[in-house]
Structure 1
Amino acid sequence: MADNSTIAKQVIEAAGGADNVASVAHCATRLRIMLHDKEKADISAIEELDKVKGAFYNSGQLQVIFGTGTVNKMYEEVMKLDIEGKSKSEMKEETKQQGNVFQRWIRTFGDVFVPIIPALVATGLFMGLRGLVTQPEILALIGLTPDDISENFLLFTQVLTDTAFIFLPALVAWSTFKVFGGSPILGIVLGLMLVSPALPNAWAAAGGEVEPIMFLGFIPVIGYQGSVLPAFIAGIVGAKLEKGLRKRVPEALDLILTPFLVLLIMITLGLFVIGPIFHIVENGIFSATLFVLDLPFGLSGLIIGGLHQVIVITGVHHIFNLLEIQLLERMGENAFNPLITAAIAAQGGAALAVGLKTKAKKMKALALPSALSAFLGITEPAIFGVNLRYVKPFVMGLIGGAAGGFAAAIMNITASGMAITVIPGMLLYLDPIFSLVLYFLANAIAIGVAFGLTWAFGYDDKMLEKK
Structure 2
Amino acid sequence: MSDLKQAAKEVLAAIGGNENIASATHCVTRLRFALVDEGKVDKEALEKIDVVRGSFSTNGQFQVVIGQGTVDKVYKELVDLSGISESSKEETKRAADKNLNPLQRAVKMLADIFIPILPAIVTAGLLMGINNILTAQGIFGEQAVVEMFPQWADIANIINLIANTAFVFLPGLIGWSAVKRFGGSELLGIVLGLMLVHPDLLNAWGYGAAQEAGEIPYWNLFGLDVAMVGYQGQVLPILVASFVLAKIELALRKRVPDGFQLLVVAPVALLVTGFIAFVAIGPITFAIGNGITNLFVGIFSNFAALGGLLYGAIYAPLVITGMHHTFLAVDLQLIGSIGGTFLWPIVALSNIAQGSAALAMYFILKDEKVKGLSLTSSISAYLGITEPAMFGVNLRYRFPFICAIIGSAIAAIWITVNSVIAPSIGVGGLPGIFSIEASGWFAFFIGMIIAVTVPFVLTYLFARTRKTL
Tell me the TM-score normalized by structure 1.
Answer: 0.91
Deviation at 1:50, TM superposition (A): 1.2
Whether the 8 Å contact between 1:289 and 1:323 is mirrored in structure 2 is no
| C-alpha separation in 1, matches of 2:45 and 2:217 | 62
| C-alpha separation in 2, matches of 1:30 and 1:40 | 19
Q: Counterpart amino acid of 2:334?
A: L
Tell me the equivalent position of 2:323. Answer: 316
Tell me the equivalent position of 2:103. Answer: 102
Q: Deviations over 1:92-137 (max 9, x none)?
A: 2222333221210110111111111111112222222222112345
Tell me the equivalent position of 1:58. Answer: 58
Q: Structure 2 matches for 1:9-408, cutoff 5 A? A: 9-81=9-81, 82-137=83-138, 138=140, 145=147, 148=150, 153=155, 155-208=157-210, 210-213=215-218, 215=220, 216=223, 219-296=226-303, 298-408=305-415
Deviation at 1:259, TM superposition (A): 0.8
Taking a change above 3 Å as real, the CA distance of residues 213 and 19 of structure 1, as seen in their structure-2 partners, is same
Deviation at 1:455, TM superposition (A): 1.3
| C-alpha separation in 1, matches of 2:280 and 2:456 | 52
Deviation at 1:413, TM superposition (A): 2.2
Whether the 8 Å contact between 2:169 and 2:232 is mirrored in structure 1 is yes
| C-alpha separation in 2, matches of 1:143 and 1:374 | 32
Percent of pairs identical after alignment?
39
Whether the 8 Å contact between 2:5 and 2:74 is mirrored in structure 1 is yes
* Alignment: residue pair count: 462
Deviation at 1:280, TM superposition (A): 1.0
Taking a change above 3 Å as real, the CA distance of residues 213 and 70 of structure 1, as seen in their structure-2 partners, is farther
| C-alpha separation in 2, matches of 1:169 and 1:363 | 44
Listed as ranges, the gaps of 5+ residues in structure 2 are none
Query: SS of the residue aligned with 1:436?
Result: helix
Q: Deviations over 1:15-53 (max 9, x none)?
A: 111232222112343211122233322122112211322
1:450 counterpart = 2:455: yes
Deviation at 1:72, TM superposition (A): 3.0
Q: Which moved more, 1:321-330 or 1:254-263?
A: 321-330
Q: Deviations over 1:66-92 (max 9, x none)?
A: 234433333233233333221111122
Whether the 8 Å contact between 1:392 and 1:459 is mirrored in structure 2 is no
Q: Which moved more, 1:42-51 or 1:143-152?
A: 143-152
Q: Deviations over 1:163-193 (max 9, x none)?
A: 2222111111111111111111111111111
| C-alpha separation in 2, matches of 1:437 and 1:150 | 25
Taking a change above 3 Å as real, the CA distance of residues 47 and 254 of structure 1, as seen in their structure-2 partners, is same
Q: Counterpart amino acid of 1:312?
A: V
| C-alpha separation in 2, matches of 1:394 and 1:150 | 45
Query: SS of the residue aligned with 2:232?
Result: coil
| C-alpha separation in 2, matches of 1:143 and 1:91 | 50
Q: Counterpart amino acid of 1:225?
A: Q
Whether the 8 Å contact between 1:23 and 1:34 is mirrored in structure 2 is yes
Whether the 8 Å contact between 1:357 and 1:460 is mirrored in structure 2 is no
Deviation at 1:149, TM superposition (A): 5.8
Whether the 8 Å contact between 1:353 and 1:454 is mirrored in structure 2 is yes
Q: Deviations over 1:382-430 (max 9, x none)?
A: 111111122211111111111111122233222232141222323213x
Aligned-residue RMSD, C-alpha = 2.5
Query: SS of the residue aligned with 1:211?
Result: coil
| C-alpha separation in 1, matches of 2:276 and 2:405 | 45
| C-alpha separation in 1, matches of 2:34 and 2:146 | 61
Query: SS of the residue aligned with 1:67?
Result: coil
Taking a change above 3 Å as real, the CA distance of residues 61 and 123 of structure 1, as seen in their structure-2 partners, is closer
Taking a change above 3 Å as real, the CA distance of residues 132 and 41 of structure 1, as seen in their structure-2 partners, is same
| C-alpha separation in 2, matches of 1:143 and 1:417 | 21
Query: SS of the residue aligned with 2:46?
Result: helix
Deviation at 1:158, TM superposition (A): 4.3
Q: Counterpart amino acid of 2:15?
A: A
| C-alpha separation in 1, matches of 2:117 and 2:234 | 14
Deviation at 1:152, TM superposition (A): 5.0
Q: Which moved more, 1:419-428 or 1:235-244?
A: 419-428
Taking a change above 3 Å as real, the CA distance of residues 26 and 150 of structure 1, as seen in their structure-2 partners, is closer
Query: SS of the residue aligned with 1:3?
Result: helix
Query: SS of the residue aligned with 2:31?
Result: strand
Taking a change above 3 Å as real, the CA distance of residues 284 and 13 of structure 1, as seen in their structure-2 partners, is same
Taking a change above 3 Å as real, the CA distance of residues 347 and 149 of structure 1, as seen in their structure-2 partners, is same
Q: Which moved more, 1:438-447 or 1:145-154?
A: 145-154
Whether the 8 Å contact between 1:219 and 1:276 is mirrored in structure 2 is no
Q: Deviations over 1:226-277 (max 9, x none)?
A: 1111111111111121111111111111121111111111101111111111
Q: Which moved more, 1:104-113 or 1:118-127?
A: 118-127
Taking a change above 3 Å as real, the CA distance of residues 295 and 367 of structure 1, as seen in their structure-2 partners, is farther
| C-alpha separation in 1, matches of 2:2 and 2:368 | 15
| C-alpha separation in 1, matches of 2:197 and 2:170 | 9
| C-alpha separation in 2, matches of 1:31 and 1:143 | 47
| C-alpha separation in 2, matches of 1:143 and 1:280 | 40
Q: Which moved more, 1:285-294 or 1:295-304?
A: 295-304
Query: SS of the residue aligned with 1:269?
Result: helix
Tell me the equivalent position of 1:440. Answer: 445
Whether the 8 Å contact between 1:8 and 1:78 is mirrored in structure 2 is yes
